[in-house]
Amino acid sequence: MNRENTPPSPVASARNLDDYWMPFTANRQFKARPRLVESAEGLYYRSVDGRQILDGCSGLWCCNAGHGRREISEAVARQIRELDYAPSFQMGHPLPFELAERLGAIAPPGLNKLFFTNSGSESADTALKIALAYQRAIGQGTRTRLIGRELGYHGVGFGGLSVGGMGGNRKAFSANLLPGVDHLPHTLDIARNAFSRGLPEFGVEKADELERLVALHGAENIAAVIVEPMSGSAGVVLPPLGYLQRLREITRKHGILLIFDEVITGFGRIGEAFAAQRWGVTPDILTSAKGLTNGAVPMGAVFVHQDIFEAFMQGPDGIELFHGYTYSGHPLACAAALAALDIYQGENLFQRAIELEDYWCDALLSLRDLPHVVDIRCVGLVGAVQLAPDPAGAGLRGYRVFEQCFHDGAMLRCTGDTLALAPPLIIDKAEIDRLLEILAGAIRKMA
């Protein structure tokens, strides 16, 4: 549907954009002024009108090794010729076993049992179900409550949505979300932590809210806590110093499982394979997706502590977990993931975010005096610039800057009035400068 008074752009008029219902998109607004890319190589997309667009967010936080990686496309092409599909229930093929072993070797200590899914949302729901089933398996069946966190994002399945804490995503479904879910307070605190470099100094005490929930409900009724070590979708919200350690202490003390959603932080974004390793806190279950295949084929992986896995293997003979997907461990996804891992390890890309971190943070923080900037957050190769909302409405200013950046040749993410950046880990200093010049220019134009 075109709005009558908005002239369609040449791109829109050349194509039928009416029938695809785009996810998480203001469809009418988009279709009046579409942004379409048709190819990508290295750090750049090419738009359908022939412009080079610097990828400032690794697609959707997933193309960590950059675009057009031949090693991946060739592995997938070989695989589809050899074995296009094999049933995933009561049958198998070698690749998910090989991939599980490779992933177990880079996982935080003990998290070497792998369950494969097709997305971050499925990984979150899988992790929650494993947590609930595990508590029953060890005779703790009253532990059914789940705890998430405000501003958390764990995908769009009913489980992930229920523990998630982004109001806009939940509102339309609130009557049908899971019962027995609580939320910890988020850790965004601009008043105390604005313009921090790396982990913010203030806010560790927010983890103590978990003790309050334990006192309220009883530990014997709580199955698991799920958090992103760093919230990405909410606009790069970092854990205060000591916060994750505190959560780990409290969960361990009360027999509550700790789940880290590392769908964004996994595969090198903040300088180690996983945030758990960079920040020295090992959860019981860890979810991933996105960078697992460098974004090339949909796939997710849930890393499960071996003790949890063993508890299931002690039960009666037969199916241990009634859960899985037709495409769990899909041959093409496994081939892509194995090739992506070869690249990450061969090019030492997980280290790259640490090597570039100082330069990245300096460059980002140099934008602090631009108009309307109220906070800048950064760690590894991820960051965010938060703007004060336009008096005409929250989110308008952020969206305008995002649109202007695309027009000027850079693709970022915007969430509300926060612009998030997470470039491919192959970026260099000159291209960091270029990315931030475009962002700074767009902010100035909006002023």
Residue 31 found at the interface with ligand PMP (CB under 6 A):
no
User: Tokens for 271?
Assistant: 């300088």
Residue 178 Cβ vs ligand PMP, minimum distance, rounded to whole Å = 16
H or E stretch covering 127:
helix 120-137
Which one of the spans 29-37, 70-78, 183-191, 261-269 is the region binding ligand PMP (CB under 6 A)? 261-269
Q: How far apart are CA 343 and CA 167, in angstroms?
A: 38
Which one of the spans 73-81, 118-126, 127-135, 202-210 is the region binding ligand PMP (CB under 6 A)? 118-126
Residue 124 found at the interface with ligand PMP (CB under 6 A):
yes
| Residues in 56-115 that interact with ligand PMP by CB under 6 A | none
DSSP single-letter state for residue 220: G
Q: Are 237 and 188 in contact (CB under 8 A)?
A: yes
Burial string for 326-355 (b: 16+ CB within 10 Å, else e) reads: ebbbbbbbbbbbbbbbbbbeeeebbebbbe
Nearer to ligand PMP, 123 or 404 (CB): 123
Residue 357 found at the interface with ligand PMP (CB under 6 A):
no
Nearer to ligand PMP, 156 or 361 (CB): 156
Residue 415 found at the interface with ligand PMP (CB under 6 A):
no
The only residue of 182, 261, 417, 431 in contact with ligand PMP, by rule CB under 6 A = 261
Residue 155 found at the interface with ligand PMP (CB under 6 A):
yes
Beta-strand pair 257-261/285-288: parallel
Residue 193 found at the interface with ligand PMP (CB under 6 A):
no
69 contacts: CB under 8 Å, gap ≥ 6: 294, 296, 339, 340, 343
Residue that the structure tokens 């996983």 belong to = 274
Closest of 440, 445, 431 to residue 56, by C-alpha: 431
Which one of the spans 43-51, 108-116, 153-161, 328-336 is the region binding ligand PMP (CB under 6 A)? 153-161
How many helices (H) and strands (E) are present in the chain, helices listed first?
18, 15
Residue 120 Cβ vs ligand PMP, minimum distance, rounded to whole Å = 2
| Residues in 204-233 that interact with ligand PMP by CB under 6 A | 228, 232-233
Residue 153 found at the interface with ligand PMP (CB under 6 A):
yes
Residue 186 found at the interface with ligand PMP (CB under 6 A):
no
Nearer to ligand PMP, 47 or 121 (CB): 121
Residue 124 Cβ vs ligand PMP, minimum distance, rounded to whole Å = 5
Angle CA 134–129–143, to nearest 5? 55
Residue 228 Cβ vs ligand PMP, minimum distance, rounded to whole Å = 5
Residue 119 found at the interface with ligand PMP (CB under 6 A):
yes
Nearer to ligand PMP, 118 or 282 (CB): 118
Residue 231 Cβ vs ligand PMP, minimum distance, rounded to whole Å = 7
# residues near ligand PMP by CB under 6 A:
14
Q: How far apart are CA 432 and CA 338, in angstroms?
A: 28
Site string for ligand PMP, 279-318 (x = CB under 6 A): ----------x-----------------------------
Q: How far apart are CA 59 and CA 40, in angstroms?
A: 10
Residue 121 found at the interface with ligand PMP (CB under 6 A):
yes
Residue that the structure tokens 């490779």 belong to = 102
Q: How far apart are CA 44 and CA 275, in angstroms?
A: 26
Is the four-CA dihedral 156, 162, 164, 165 of positive or negative sign? positive
Residue 274 found at the interface with ligand PMP (CB under 6 A):
no
Which one of the spans 92-100, 147-155, 244-252, 405-413 is the region binding ligand PMP (CB under 6 A)? 147-155
H or E stretch covering 341:
helix 331-346
DSSP string, 281-301: ---SEEEE-GGGGTTSS--EE
Q: How far apart are CA 186 and CA 207, in angstroms?
A: 9
Angle CA 332–335–336, to nearest 5? 85
Q: How far apart are CA 186 and CA 9, in angstroms?
A: 41
Residue 156 Cβ vs ligand PMP, minimum distance, rounded to whole Å = 6
Residue 295 Cβ vs ligand PMP, minimum distance, rounded to whole Å = 10
Residue 263 found at the interface with ligand PMP (CB under 6 A):
yes
Q: 80: which strand partners?
A: none
The only residue of 120, 165, 203, 266 in contact with ligand PMP, by rule CB under 6 A = 120
Nearer to ligand PMP, 66 or 155 (CB): 155
Contact residues for ligand PMP (CB under 6 A)?
Answer: 119-121, 124, 153-155, 228, 232-233, 261, 263-264, 289
